[in-house]
Structures are given as C-alpha cells and as structure tokens.
Amino acid sequence: MYLGVPVKFALAFSIAVAWVVLSVWLSQPWLAELSMHVGFALALLVIVFIAYVPGFMNAFLIGSIAFDRRPIRRALAEYPAICVLVACYNERTNIVDTLRSLAGQDYPGELEVVVIDDGSTDDTLALARAEAGRIERSGLTVRVIALGENGGKARALNRGLSETTQPLVITVDGDSWLRTDALSKIVQRFLSDPPNTVAVAGAVLVRNSRDSWLARAQEWDYFHGIAAVKRMQSMYHGTLVAQGAFSLYTREALNGVGGWPECVGEDIVVSWALLKTGARVGYCEDACLFTNVPVDVKQFARQRQRWSRGLIEAFARHWPLLFKRRLSTLFIWWNLLFLPLDTVYTLAFLPGIVLALFGYYWIAGLMTLLVLPLAAIWNIVIFRVQSRMFKSQDLAVRRNITGFLFYTVGYTMLLQPVCVMGYVAELLKLRKSWGTK
C-alpha cells in the first residue's frame, strides 16, 4: 500500500513523540534525584538533551527509514552534457587517482572535467596537467585552471562555474575515487526526481578506512549515520547538505543564489540558499564516491570544526528557514538543537560518566541506558538498508568490527567536544581555513 510523504512524516513524528512521552514518564525519578543536586531547571536541561532529544531523533530516524521507498531511478534515452568541477589544494597524492576515476566513467553524454588548483604549494598543478593530457578522449574534455594564490574552495568553484556552460554542474573533491557508474546514476536520479529538484547529493563513503583506528570508525559514520540522515531528509524533499565532495546542481539554481558563498561551509550554506527558494534537494544513495577521511585526531578535529562552523554560517545567513512552511523545516530545527546537544554532552554528560566511575549516578546511570535500545535498532535498520544497496552493486560490507565498536561506544566522546570547539571558534570569529590536511 502506497503512503504519501505527508502521511509517512506524520507516522514517523507520532512514533517519535510517543517515545518521548514514555521517556518523560520513566525519567521522573531521575529528574527528581538530579534536581536535588543541581536544581530543577538545570536538571531538566541536562535530561532533555541527554535523553529526550536524542530519543526523539533516533525514533524519528527509525520510523522514516522503515517507511522509506526510493523512487525508481530511470535509465535515460539521452544524457545531457555535464561538467565536473574539481577544486583542489595540495592534493598531490590524490589528484591523479581522482582524474583517472573520472576518465573511467561510463557516462554516455558529453563530459567536461575542470580542475581548479587553488594555489597549491606542492606539485598538484603539474600532476593534474600531466594527467589531463593522458586521459582526454572522445566525449571527455579535461581542463586545468591555475589560481595564483589560495583563496578558498568557494572562489575556486565559482571560477570553474564561470568558465563552463553545461546546464548540470557536479562537484567532486580532489581526494576521491568514483565508482564507474557514479555520474550516470546521479544524473538519472536528478532527472527521475520531482521537477522542483535543483540539486542531488551523492553517496560519500570512506576509501582509506584501513589507515587508522579513527578512519575505521569514520567508515561506519559515513555508512550509517550520514547516509541515514540524508535518506531521511531527501524522503521529505529537503536534504540539508548537498556536500561539496560529490553533488549535482543545476546551473540555473546556482546562478540564482549567486554561486557558492565565501565561507568555510560553502556547501551547506548554498544548499540552504537553494532550500530557501522553495526548491528540493535530493539524495542518490547508490551513486557512490569513496573519499579519503582524516586519519589522525588533529586532521579530524580541523575537518569537523569546519563543518560545525559551516552550520553556524548557514543559520546566520538563512535563519528564516526556521519558519518556512515545509516538511524539511523540522530538520532545520533539528540542526539548531545540535548546538545545545553537543554542549550539554560535552559539559554535563562526559563529566557525568566520570562521576559514575566513582559511584555517583546523578547524570550517567541506568536511566541513560534508555537511549541505547533505540540507537541499536536504528543501527540495525540502516545496516540492512545500506547492505542491500551495496549488494545491488556487487559491493561487500567490510567486517570492520573494531571500527564499529569505537563508533558505537567512543566516537561521540571525540566528535561532540570537537563540534563545540567549532561553534565557539565561529562565534568568536577566529581565522578560517577550508583545508583539512
């Protein structure tokens, strides 16, 4: 039986609210005990962002993924001409692989690849130029543009946009490897989606998961967390981030919002600008690109702080989205709640774990375990969904058990304090950089 998107939204929302009501009822003794030590207001604040809000999010995710049915992605009789913009900075170890994966695409239409070197200080530019000459063929044109000095990813992408004419524009990071059919599938998804779609995010997965314990954990973050959120958001016609690593945009829509804005979170800010026009941003779960993720804590912290700063930039420029009448408005509020969620987790829950080790269960105790069943359920649900997608492409899910254990137990203990540092850095207007390496 077919259920319309508003009905699915209502059902998922009702499930989430029911879980919160149950949580509030069960948590009364916990609230009373914690109030004795820190006061009612502070106790309520802590419990809301440790238990109630995460519980709502997990329950809504489970309901949405359970009801999700991807629209049919149609093969096309004729494929439009597209351009791929590859903005890069100091990617000497990756740019050749990225270009070779683009040269190996099975895309039937005309394809132009434009590499924009943003003032690299290594030999990225020379390598890109040499590889461009080797891979050109019928139907594939490759150009390399050299910018004199580093000016940021947005400037590089806008330069590439200004020097191309194709109606569809795809962005790819310079440290990535695309599956052979990635471009075909993302274009098919765009042309199969509702007519008000102006951008489609591709599926970004981890390529270098064997490089470190942190990379192994991020493999699950991309495979589970990020993929689940994008599936959910696209189901309600409002994917919040068409990420710069791999996304498709219409040239008309990009020109309509002035291209990519000059900021560190250019992809989320331009996505919100597109949503503010009333347009739809979709997600193609089986157009797969594999990217290199940070392998040490320093690189990881720089990347995730940049993402957090981008979220603040998006709210600063597009806060009216909080009051726009559409289903995806829930996710704008959802993102707003990340600020207090991450802050309470860092300043209250982590100290609460330390107190629990000494026998004081005021913050972290038996009641906090209520969120674990939901987290386990949604991990199982999204694993099954993603595994089916992998199987359909003859891919296998790697048995990355140690990475999964850290992802489920300790990953947020690193991630959320790093996000708080990013929020603070943006609020204090500290110096910005788009590189993470």
Please check whether residue 282 is in contact with residue 200, taking contact to mean a CB–CB distance below 8 angstroms.
yes
User: pLDDT tens digit string along 376-406?
Assistant: 787 888 888 888 888 888 888 888 999 999 9
Q: With contact defined as beta carbons under 8 Å apart, do 47 and 364 qualify?
A: no
What length does the chain have?
A: 437
Three-state secondary-structure class, residue 279: coil
How high is the pLDDT of residue 437? 40
**In the prediction, which pLDDT does 71 show?**
78
Q: Which two tokens stand for residue 172?
A: 């790819």
CB 132 within 8 A of CB 174: no
Distance between alpha carbon 358 and the CA centroid of its chain, in Å?
Answer: 37
| Alpha-carbon gap, residue 303 to 334, rounded angstroms | 21
- Give me the pLDDT at residue 433, please: 66
How confident is the model over 113-136, as pLDDT tens digits? 999 999 999 999 999 999 999 999
Determine the Cα–Cα distance for residues 270 and 318; give it in Å rounded to an integer: 10
Return the domain boundaries, the chain.
5-69+326-427, 82-295
Which phi and psi angles does 31 have, rounded to 5°? -60, -40
* 3-state SS, one letter per residue, for 17-53: HHHHHHHHHHCHHHHHHHHHHHCHHHHHHHHHHHHHH
CATH 3.90.550.10 fits 82-295, yes or no: yes
Name the one residue in this structure whose structure tokens are 């540092």. 421
pLDDT at 434: 53
The set of residues, in sequence order, having a beta carbon less than 8 Å from that of 96 and lying 6+ positions away, is 127, 128, 131
First to last CA, the chain: 49
According to the model, what pLDDT value does residue 60 have? 94
- Burial environment of residue 377 by CB neighbours within 10 A (0 to 12, 13 to 18, 19 or more): middle
Closest CA to 177 of 259, 86, 248: 86
CA distances from 29 to 32, 205, 355, 361, 404 (A): 5, 43, 19, 12, 33
Q: How far are the Cα atoms of 99, 168, 174, 179 from residue 127, in angstroms, in the given order?
A: 10, 27, 12, 22
User: Count of CB atoms within 10 A of residue 134's CB?
Assistant: 12
Cα 315–240–292 angle (5° rounding)?
105
> Measured between alpha carbons, how far is 177 from 136 in angstroms, rounded to an integer?
18
Nearest-CA neighbor of 306 among 427, 418, 422, 218?
Answer: 422
* pTM to 2 decimal places: 0.93
* Contact call for residues 346 and 422 (beta carbons, < 8 A): no
- Chunked in runs of 10, what are the mean pLDDT values of the chain (437 residues)? 87 95 91 93 94 92 88 87 96 95 96 96 95 93 93 94 97 96 96 94 94 95 91 92 96 97 94 96 95 95 94 95 93 95 95 89 78 77 87 84 90 95 92 58
Query: Under a CB-based contact definition with an 8 Å cutoff, are residues 206 and 254 in contact?
Result: no
